[in-house]
Amino acid sequence: MAYYTLRNGPVGRVLAGDRGATRRKVAVSPWLRPLGGGAVALVLPLSLLALWTLSAAFEWLPPQILPAPADVEHGLVEMWRSGDLAKHTAISLLRVVYGFSIGAIVGLALGVAMGLSRTVEDYTRPLFTAFAQVPTLGWIPLLMLLVGIGEGLKILVIAKAAFVPMTMNSFAGIRSVPPAYGEVAALYRFNRWQLLRQVMLPGAIPPIFTGVRYGLTHAWMALVAVELLASSEGLGYLLVWGRQMFWLDAVMIAMVLIGIVGFGLDKVMAIIERRLQRWRFADGARGGRA
């Protein structure tokens, strides 16, 4: 695969002394060490759940403002049985897939082009910088006038949210590839396509994947924001609908689900990143033991 070419190919063999980053050990408090690494992450959520339960039991806040966990659980079961929760979640995920794919592909292409060519950077960098300075939500009024409030608006807003971090990190990744890699590739008479595919892109994978993860996170947040403003379906719409009907259990269900799905998307991208860069992590582990 192209991801291993930089390490196992001629360029990697010549520059074999370049080790990957070593893993860092995270210190765990002696009080929490018996729980294990996975259980430690549950301490804070369980503490918040206990505080929420006590607050509802002693009515520190009115039930209309803070419903009891049992009421939220009952609402979750009802929404799941009716199919509304699955339908709205699927709609939101599909919008993210379309919008993120467009923004990530265009951002990757522009970032790589700017990283490889000073001329392209000179022509496009000022306009891109100005474009990036306008927050994603700031484009919604203009896009509403251009494309209305249909699906096109959601896709464009999500694409813009993913486009900016993807472009910036792709550009930084290409520029971070050591010049020595290109010099060794020139010795082996790589053409431009071979240089890009076997040297530049594999060497820029860590920053590019950082852009992918940031882009996906921004795309998910932009989705919720645009669904709050202009949508009749999706998880963002559930928030608005629950507030309008003053069903706070529906609002809390939507908020928790938005957080869980966003966390899950980031974890999936982290797993993919580790698989694509397992040679780098393996080098880092060996370097740490040396």
pLDDT tens track for 263-275: 888 888 888 878 7
* Three-state SS sequence of 186-232: HHCCCCHHHHHHHHHHHHCHHHHHHHHHHHHHHHHHHHHHHHHHCCC
Q: How far apart are CA 75 and CA 67, in angstroms?
A: 11
pLDDT value, residue 166: 94
Residue 98 pLDDT > 80: yes
Residue 12 pLDDT > 70: no
More confident residue, 104 or 40: 104
Is 0.95 topped by the overall pTM? no
Mean pLDDT of 111-115: 91
Residue 15 pLDDT > 50: no
Q: How far apart are CA 261 and CA 142, in angstroms?
A: 29
pLDDT per residue over 155-180, tens digit each? 999 999 999 999 999 999 988 888 88
Report the topology of domain 83-279.
Answer: MetI-like fold (1.10.3720)
